[in-house]
Amino acid sequence: MGWVRHSLNEIRRMRAKLDGGGFTLHLEDGSVQRFSFEDFLQNFQRNSQRLRALYREEEVPPPHPYGAALTRAVDLPPELERGAQDQRRLDAQIEEAGR
């Protein structure tokens, strides 16, 4: 359960850094997407739903648009890079289980 505490600490750090404002992700195809802290929270909730569905061997919902964009983002600050790595790891785990 240490990863849950770590994730909650990440949420607290992101909230303090964003202070309710939005942030922009630059994607590898050159496009730009803007997200809010609410998107960050919804992605956390969606990933929890995805893990629950995987555990129950149910159909896994698709990632939240923020999570999908995070895996394709470039030049991320360290706090977002860690989240992108976690998102990629989760997506790979779900893909592997689906085989």
Backbone angles phi, psi at 25, to 5 degrees: -110, 130
pLDDT at 35: 92
pLDDT tens, per residue, the chain with 99 residues:
456 566 677 777 766 665 556 788 999 999 999 998 899 899 999 999 999 999 999 999 999 999 999 999 999 988 789 989 999 999 999 999 876
What's the confidence (pLDDT) of residue 10?
Answer: 73
- Can you give the pLDDT at residue 87? 95
CA distance 36 to 21: 6
Decide: helix, strand or coil at residue 8: helix
Q: Please give the Cα distance from 80 to 54 (Å, whole number).
A: 25
Q: Where do runs of H (alpha helix) occur along 1-99?
A: 2-18, 37-55, 65-71, 78-97
Question: In a 3-state reduction of DSSP, which class is residue 78?
Answer: helix
